[in-house]
Amino acid sequence: MAVKQEFKSFDDLVGGTEEPILVDFYADWCGPCQMMSKILVQVGAEMKGEIKVVKVDTEKYPQIASQHQIHALPTLLLFNKGESVDRIEGVLTADQLISRVRGVLGGNA
């Protein structure tokens, strides 16, 4: 399940854990983001214990979106040990997203 949470520092959020984090940059008005939200619930459930899924509202955190050069929504960034290791723009199916994340993380996410 994707987690909506407040945070003081984005770097602390993505770097403060050994668990890889998939960050969904979205906006409430974005239709494809709403589609992706349901897919991320599936991905989060299937990959529980492998990754953490976090949502970042680009309307509330424009400075974070700008820092990570988010120009299209939805954009997903995969962080591993605090480093961005993959970027996905647009909508993927749950199977496509799971396959891509596991591929990037070496299958042992």
Give mean pLDDT, residues 10-35.
Answer: 90
Of 27, 30, 104, 105, catalytic:
30
CB 23 within 8 A of CB 76: yes
Query: What is the SS3 assignment for 102?
Result: helix
Q: How far is CA 83 from the centre of its chain?
A: 13
Of 14, 33, 64, 65, catalytic:
33
Confidence (pTM): 0.88
**Predicted confidence (pLDDT) at residue 103 exceeds the cutoff of 90:** yes
Question: Which CATH architecture does the domain made up of 9-54 adopt?
Answer: 3-Layer(aba) Sandwich (3.40)
pLDDT digits (tens, 9 = 90+) for 43-70: 999 999 999 999 999 999 999 999 999 9
- Tokens standing for 71? 């120009």
- Tokens standing for 98? 């799971």
Q: Assess whether 12 carries a catalytic annotation.
A: no
Q: Assess whether 85 carries a catalytic annotation.
A: no
